[in-house]
């Protein structure tokens, strides 16, 4: 299929073309490949914010408020809501966001939901591609929001320059939940609903947890190159009220501070290199998995291996080795 007409419209700022192209990259990696190839040279201008927080942390209101501020600055904004947890409730979240959309003029804000369609790697890859489409579409700020917290967010946030995690005063459950790998990639912790009792206590809790992380970091640095790069930044903590907008000015300043840090420290270049590496590896894994799954379903030799493993005359590792040989990539 030829996407050049849609892509031309996209580059001219047509929102329906953007929506259509995102659907295409979501459903078909073949289409994604052609589309991204065509638009790639038009990307790299957007600033990408990753925002997460447990259910009840007020993500919708927070995003509405911050989006309004960016819109008032005359910026074109894209919002991608990613739900890695379920294909079922995609509709519910979408509904939420459509209500959110009422606050903005369609011209300035593009909102899109993406739900998991069974392949986690696929979702992260599709999100990366959607970000690129909105980038080429001309969005200056792209907000990637995920619900819940967990390892999947880490993959999804690989393209975010600044990662914000929302917490609320009260029970420590949200910190518990966020203890995830997401911790290590968070740049700004925002205690939302600062009017509730315990906001300062929550700030203290975050600081304590960061201390724990610092102690742990020494060990993790040995494992993860991305951590090393990110770790030069000390995460900021701020409390806000998303309903009244209190402290949002300071929070935007923190985002800008982080953005400047990325530019001036030279971290951004390392970071982009790592991002491209991990993106390429993701695409490769996807291509190779597809190939292998295709083989497993069609190749009689592999079917024979499968029978042998069922009989316990062969083990899965040896089967994997035999397939590696079959593929010729020893």
* Binding positions for its own copies, 281-310, rule CB under 8 A: 281, 283-285, 287-289, 291-293, 296, 306, 309-310
Q: Which of 111, 118, 58, 60 is nearest to 88 (CA)?
A: 118
* Binding positions for its own copies, 162-221, rule CB under 8 A: 173, 176-177, 179-181, 183, 212-213, 216, 220
Site string for its own copies, 125-164 (x = CB under 8 A): -----------------------xxxxx------------
Q: Which of 49, 238, 248, 71 is nearest to 146 (CA)?
A: 49
Query: 111: how many CB neighbours lie within 10 A of its CB?
Result: 21
Number of H helices and number of E strands within the chain?
15, 7
Token reading at 267: 């971290």
3-state secondary structure of 164: strand
Q: What are the CA-CA distances from residue 268 to residues 36, 109, 159, 273 (Å)? A: 22, 26, 12, 8
**Residue 44 Cβ, how far from its own copies at the closest point, in Å?**
7
* Binding positions for its own copies, 231-260, rule CB under 8 A: none
**Residue 41 Cβ, how far from its own copies at the closest point, in Å?**
5
- 232 vs 273 by CB, closer to its own copies: 273
What is the spatial distance between Cα 281 and Cα 299, in angstroms, rounded to a whole number?
A: 25
| Binding region for its own copies (CB under 8 A) out of 14-22, 70-78, 250-258, 319-327 | 319-327
**Residue 232 Cβ, how far from its own copies at the closest point, in Å?**
19
Interacting residue with its own copies among 11, 31, 69, 319 (CB under 8 A): 319
Interacting residue with its own copies among 12, 27, 45, 87 (CB under 8 A): 87
Q: Which of 229, 239, 263, 238 is nearest to 47 (CA)?
A: 263
């Amino acid at each position: 299929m030829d996407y050049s007409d849609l892509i031309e419209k996209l580059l001219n700022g047509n929102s329906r073309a953007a929506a259509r192209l995102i659907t295409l990259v979501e459903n078909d990696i073949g289409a994604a490949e052609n589309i991204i190839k065509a638009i790639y040279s038009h990307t790299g201008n957007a600033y990408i914010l990753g925002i997460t927080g447990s259910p009840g942390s007020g993500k919708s209101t927070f995003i509405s408020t911050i989006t309004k501020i960016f819109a008032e600055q005359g910026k074109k904004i894209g919002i991608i809501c990613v739900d890695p947890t379920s294909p079922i409730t995609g509709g519910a979240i979408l509904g939420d966001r459509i209500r959110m959309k009422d606050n903005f003029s369609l011209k300035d804000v593009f909102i899109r939901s993406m739900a998991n369609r069974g392949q986690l790697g696929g979702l992260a890859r599709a999100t990366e591609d959607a970000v690129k489409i909105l980038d080429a579409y001309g969005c200056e700020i792209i907000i990637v929001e995920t619900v819940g917290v967990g390892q999947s967010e880490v993959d999804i946030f690989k393209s975010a320059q600044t990662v914000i995690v929302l917490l609320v005063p009260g029970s420590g459950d949200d910190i518990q939940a966020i203890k995830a790998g997401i911790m290590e990639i968070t740049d700004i912790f925002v205690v939302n609903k600062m009017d509730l009792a315990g906001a300062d206590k929550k700030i203290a809790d975050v600081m304590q947890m960061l201390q724990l992380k610092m102690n742990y970091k020494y060990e993790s640095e040995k494992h993860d190159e991305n951590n090393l790069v990110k770790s030069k930044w000390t995460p900021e903590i701020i409390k806000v009220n998303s309903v009244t907008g209190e402290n949002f000015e300071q929070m935007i300043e923190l985002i800008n501070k982080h953005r400047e840090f990325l530019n001036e420290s030279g971290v951004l270049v390392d970071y982009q290199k790592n991002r491209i590496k991990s993106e390429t590896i993701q695409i490769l894994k996807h291509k190779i998995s597809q190939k292998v799954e295709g083989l497993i379903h069609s190749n009689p030799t592999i079917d024979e291996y499968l029978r042998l493993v069922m009989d316990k005359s062969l083990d899965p590792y040896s089967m994997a080795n035999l397939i590696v040989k079959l593929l010729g990539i020893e």
